[in-house]
Amino acid sequence: MAKNETTVLTVERGACRVLRLVRSGAAGVLSVALRRTYAAPPPPAVAADAAAKDETATAAVQDSDRIAFDQAVAATGGAVTLGLPASRLLVKILRLPAATRSDLESVVALQMAKYAPFSGDHLTVSGEVVAETEDELTVFAAVLPHAAVEQLDPWLQGAGLRVERVDALLLGWWRAACAVLADDPAPVRRVFLACVADEWDLLIADGKRPVLVRGLGALADPQALAIEITLSLLNAEVESGAAPVEEVVFFNTEPLDTALTEAIRQAVDVPVRHLPPPQPDADLHGLAVRDAEASPLLLNLLPALWRARNTAADSKKRFLRGAIMGAVLWLLLAGGLFGAPLLMQQRVADVKRALAANEAIFQTVQNIRTRADLIESYTDRSDSILEAMRTVADRMPAGVELTMLVYRRRVDVKLTGETSDQALAYQFKDAIENSGPFGKCIVGSVNLIQSPGKQGRHKFEITATLKKAEVRE
């Protein structure tokens, strides 16, 4: 079931970003309710110079990142999906038989254990089908090392943050790139590069089917990036077969650097293109849209430790909610058991006192009202037979001959007559309806007279309800 609101938080090199999407309108369109970036304050100069060697300097850098993380958590206001860059994960594209779909989680864990440089007890593995044919599944597989969990876990506990899912940022920007390339379905091989927080992600795809993914991290110069692209293309040929490379696509907001473009052209001899994202933080937006879909088949690298903590928190919440509801119910039942009879007795006594106090006045008013109604019934002639006959005589059209008038006091008047044109009967009915003492009028019947000497004449009946009869009803 799709979510109505989702919040994504990223932990990146030197910054944290937050994006919240909310569904609105009858169509349930997702709109951005919150988008913020929290940059880590610069660490002390000594730490910046010695970060690679000095553990104290490394801790200072992590403290700066922790400050940005705490600021981002304060803006989330609840549970989040955590987006991690590919440099913090071990990512790989797996090609598996379609028959493995029913046990995909176990198969992915078994395959990734072959590539991970640490044991299965120190990692979290997940996979997501990103393309498929009748016989084969293309799976994006990722491993979250236990070391990364150990670094982030104190931050989560200190901030009291609940993480419901862990996703790869790479899948967010790849979703956005596929949306931009929707009008270009040609299955050619392309190299896609995205740089977020000075760290590079690389994805090689045949059309929209990924064949190789890598988190390159921070690179020193354009030549280093060109070398990584060359090595990645060689790996793609080994794993998925040779194919001509159509172009290298930079999926970034910033324009291309000339030196970088030239270095890549010299290294791989293919065109280089800049493809701007459709919106700011396209990777984060793509991740949030994925999360809003709430599909159980999405990648989820949530560690067992955090999953157990969420389960415990949910159990505690359910227990507290049940305890509160039980206490409230007990109080209501106790109040009803002991208080209801007393309250009812008090109410009955109040009603009896009120009736006793007002009984004499009520009888006096009732007698006066009865006499007034009796006098009015004798003096009011607005619906008398004379008034009815006067109205009938005034409104009766020429050509209508009235043969009978039956008056029922305070009920109605029945009119019987003859006419040479049956339309005059309906005209007569419309003329007296809601006029004088009459309210609603109904034409009962209009029949042709069969008697000799009255050929072509019609007999009609009209029932005219008196207005006061309608009021009484």
Band (235; pLDDT cuts 50, 70, 90)? very high
Asked if 175 and 286 count as a contact pair (C-beta separation under 8 A), the reply is yes
439 within 8 A of 401, measured Cβ to Cβ: no
Residues 71-80: tens digit of each pLDDT: 888 888 788 9
CATH code of domain 385-472? 3.30.1360.100
For residue 58, what pLDDT is reported?
58
Rounded to the nearest 10°, the torsion over CA 446, 448, 450, 453 is 110
The residue count of the chain comes to 473
The per-residue pLDDT for range 400-429, each reduced to its tens digit, is: 989 999 998 888 999 999 998 889 889 989
Helices and strands of the chain, counted as H and E runs: 12, 17
pLDDT (0 to 100) of residue 220: 76
Reported as a single tens digit per residue, the pLDDT across 104-137 is 999 999 988 888 877 666 789 999 999 999 999 9
Q: Which residues lie closer than 8 Å to 33 by C-beta, 6 or more apart?
A: 5, 20, 21, 22
pLDDT of amino acid 47: 47
**C-alpha–C-alpha distance, residues 125 and 149, integer Å:** 13
pLDDT tens digits, 322-374? 999 999 999 888 877 887 788 888 888 888 888 888 888 888 888 888 888 77
pLDDT surpasses 50 at 290: yes
Query: The CATH number of 5-302 is which of 3.30.2350.10, 3.30.360.10, 3.30.1130.10, 3.30.420.380?
Result: 3.30.420.380
The yes-or-no verdict on residue 53 having pLDDT over 70 is no
Burial of 25 (0-12, 13-18, 19+ CB in 10 A): exposed
CATH 3.30.420.380, the chain: domain bounds: 5-302
Mean pLDDT of the chain: 86
Q: Which residue has the tokens 């059309």?
A: 207
Of the candidates 267, 275, 287, the one whose C-alpha atom is nearest the C-alpha of residue 12 is 287
Whether residue 59 has pLDDT greater than 70: no
Strand, helix or coil for residue 269: coil
pLDDT at 142: 93
At 464, list the tokens: 């005219």
Average pLDDT of span 429-442: 90
Query: What integer is the mean pLDDT of 13-27?
Result: 85
Predicted pLDDT at 471: 62
Q: What is the DSSP string of 101-155?
A: GGGHHHHHHHHHHHH-SS-GGGEEEEEEEEEE-SSEEEEEEEEEEHHHHHHHHHH
Between CA 161 and CA 74 the distance in angstroms is 9
Burial class of residue 70 (count of CB atoms within 10 Å of its CB; 0-12, 13-18, 19+): middle
DSSP, residue by residue, 396-444: PPTTEEEEEEEEETTTEEEEEEEESSHHHHHHHHHHHTTSTTEEEEEEE
Positive/negative CA dihedral, 22, 23, 24, 30: positive
Percent with pLDDT over 70 in the chain: 93
Phi, psi for residue 174 in degrees, rounded to 5: -70, -35
Amino acid residing at 177: A
Please tell me the distance from the alpha carbon of residue 461 to that of residue 455, in angstroms, as a whole number.
19
What confidence tier does 48 reach under pLDDT thresholds 50, 70, 90? very low
Domain with CATH 3.30.1360.100 in the chain: 385-472
Q: How far is CA 180 from the centre of its chain?
A: 25
Tokens of 100: 């493995």
In this structure, how many other beta carbons lie within 10 angstroms of the beta carbon of residue 401? 10
User: What are the tens digits of pLDDT across the range 137-181?
Assistant: 999 999 998 888 888 899 998 888 999 999 999 999 999 888 888
Contact, 83 vs 171, CB < 8 A? no
Q: Whose CA is closest to 190, among 221, 152, 225, 232?
A: 232
Residue 261, helix vs strand vs coil:
helix
Please enumerate in sequence order all residues whose Cβ is within 8 A of that of 387, keeping only pairs 6 or more positions apart, or say none: 381, 436, 437
Beta bridge partners of 271: none
Cβ contact 425:419 at 8 Å: yes
- Written as six digits, the tokens of 203 are 């994805």
H-assigned helices in 300-384: 304-379
Residues 6+ apart with CB under 8 A from 74: 159
C-alpha atoms less than 13 angstroms from C-alpha of 295 in its C-beta half-sphere: 11
Asked whether 37 and 197 are in contact (CB, 8 A), the reply is: no
d(CA 10, CA 8): 7
**Predicted pLDDT at 183:** 67
State the CB neighbour count (10 A cutoff) for residue 171: 25
Sheet containing strand 400-408, edge to edge, reads 400-408, 412-419, 458-466, 438-448
Minimum mean pLDDT range among 94-98, 305-309, 469-473: 469-473
